[in-house]
Structure 1
């Protein structure tokens, strides 16, 4: 898989934006991606040094519309922490 297939999109929420101060960035990643794959993809795409990667599976939430109900899709999230001497990811800097 290429780096663009592994890192699908950034997660922009209040909690994930609070982690930017500690150089922790959150991304939606491919469900089959491993921590090593995610680390290599972030380093290749953004030119930074990754210290650690935490991953978790986000379950789909129940959504109802009248009598019918369903689940939103499940997805995989990765929180990537950068080293102290690494530069920041410029994409997130414009959002603060």
Structure 2
């Protein structure tokens, strides 16, 4: 997976997290280790798009929250991925 957008949004779907917690969560649920540069670059882009926002700073860590627009985008992307997976599985069975 080239673009970490869906991974970050999925991580934030169950609650606010700071960067390190997002990295750890993605490692657990996707088996993908994002480097800090990749993560924080993506966080910046997601904030610019309005899909996540920074919330109250706590103990030297900046937590982030998914927005309504981010949740909608995540739902759309998950639906698309579901379709791709179903199509791929069907085609593999037919091959």
Higher helix content, 1 or 2: 2
Higher strand content, 1 or 2: 1
Structure 2 length as normaliser, TM-score? 0.34
Structure 1 length as normaliser, TM-score? 0.34
